[in-house]
Structure 1
Amino acid sequence: MPSFHNKKQYTVAFYNLENLFDTYDDELTQDNEFLPDSVKKWTFKRYLNKLRKLGFAISQIGENETGFPPALVGLSEVENELVLRDLISSQHLAHIHYDFVHFDSPDERGIDVALLYNKKVFHKLKASRHALDIFNVDGEKDYTRDILHVSGLFDGEKVHVIVNHWPSRREGLEESNIKRMAASNKLIEIMETILYEEPEAKFIILGDFNDNPDTESIKNLVNNQDLFNPMEQVYSKSRGTTRHDFVWDLFDQIILSTSFFERIPGTLTYLKADIFDEDFLKLFRGPFKGEPFRTYVGTKYKGGYSDHFPVYLILHK
Structure 2
Amino acid sequence: MKIAAFNVENLFDRPKAFNLDDQAKGSAITDAVAEINMLVNKDEYSAADKARMLDLIRQLQLTSPNPPFAIFRKIRGALWKKPKNGPLVIVAEGRADWVGWVELKTEHNNATAVMNTGRVIKAVGADILAVIEAEDRVALKQFSEQVLLKLGGDPYDEIMLIDGNDDRGIDVGLMVTNGYSVGLMRSHIADMMPNGQRVFSRDCPEYEVITPTGERIWILPNHFKSKFGGNDQSSVNKRAAQAQRTAEIYERLRGEGQDKIVVLGDLNDTPDSVALKRLLQQTDLKDVSEHSDFSPGTFQGIGTFGTGNNANKIDYLLLSPALFARVKSAGLFRMGVWTASGRWPMFPELEKPIHAASDHHLIWVEIAD
Same fold (TM over 0.5): yes
Q: Show the 5 A alignment for 1:257-296.
A: 257-262=320-325, 269-278=326-335, 281-285=336-340, 289-290=342-343
Which of the numbers 180, 183, 187 marks the counterpart of 1:129? 187
Query: How many aligned positions are there?
Result: 272
Q: Which amino acid aligns with 2:103?
A: Q
Which of the numbers 300, 304, 309 marks the counterpart of 2:356? 304
Question: Aligned to 2:306, what secondary structure does the other structure show?
Answer: strand
Question: Residue 22 and residue 227 in structure 1: after superposition, are their counterparts in 2 closer, same or farther (change >3 A)?
Answer: same
1:254 Cα offset (Å): 0.3
1:79 Cα offset (Å): 1.0
1:88/1:98 contact within 8 Å kept: no
Q: Paired residue for 1:56?
A: 119
Q: Which amino acid aligns with 1:51?
A: V
**What is the CA deviation profile of residues 171-203 of structure 1, one whole-angstrom value per residue up to 9, with x for unaligned ones?**
31644221111011111222233234x324310
Distance 1:105 1:22 in 2: 17
1:231 Cα offset (Å): 2.1
Matched, 1:241 2:323: no
Distance 1:55 1:202 in 2: 29
1:56/1:93 contact within 8 Å kept: no
Q: Which amino acid aligns with 1:56?
A: R
Distance 1:261 1:140 in 2: 34
1:282/1:289 contact within 8 Å kept: no
Distance 2:175 2:14 in 1: 22
Q: Which of 304-313 and 247-256 deviates more? A: 247-256
1:316 Cα offset (Å): 1.3
1:272/1:313 contact within 8 Å kept: yes
Q: Paired residue for 2:288?
A: 230
Distance 2:12 2:236 in 1: 27
Distance 2:223 2:198 in 1: 17
Matched, 1:80 2:71: no
Matched, 1:206 2:260: no
Q: Show the 5 A alignment for 1:1-317.
A: 10-22=1-13, 30-32=103-105, 34-35=106-107, 42=108, 46=110, 48-61=111-124, 69-89=125-145, 90=147, 91-92=150-151, 95-118=154-177, 120-131=178-189, 133=192, 144-155=201-212, 156-170=214-228, 171-172=230-231, 174-196=233-255, 198-232=256-290, 238-243=301-306, 248-262=311-325, 269-278=326-335, 281-285=336-340, 289-290=342-343, 302-317=354-369
Q: Which amino acid aligns with 1:12?
A: I
Q: Which amino acid aligns with 2:273?
A: T
Distance 2:316 2:200 in 1: 23
Give the greater-gyration-radius structure (CA): 2
Distance 1:195 1:251 in 2: 25
Question: Aligned to 1:180, what secondary structure does the other structure show?
Answer: helix
Q: Which amino acid aligns with 2:170?
A: I
Question: Residue 133 and residue 100 in structure 1: after superposition, are their counterparts in 2 closer, same or farther (change >3 A)?
Answer: same
1:29 Cα offset (Å): 7.0
Distance 2:186 2:248 in 1: 14
Same amino acid, percent of matched pairs: 24
Gaps of 5+ in 1: 1-9, 36-41, 62-68, 263-268, 294-299
Question: Aligned to 2:140, what secondary structure does the other structure show?
Answer: helix
Q: Which amino acid aligns with 2:316?
A: Q
1:101 Cα offset (Å): 1.1
Q: Paired residue for 2:49?
A: none
Question: Residue 303 and residue 185 in structure 1: after superposition, are their counterparts in 2 closer, same or farther (change >3 A)?
Answer: same
1:256 Cα offset (Å): 0.3
1:17 Cα offset (Å): 0.4
Q: Which amino acid aligns with 2:240?
A: M
Distance 2:308 2:234 in 1: 20
1:128 Cα offset (Å): 1.9
Q: What is the aligned-residue RMSD (CA, Å)?
A: 3.5
What TM-score, normalized by structure 2, do the two folds share? Answer: 0.64
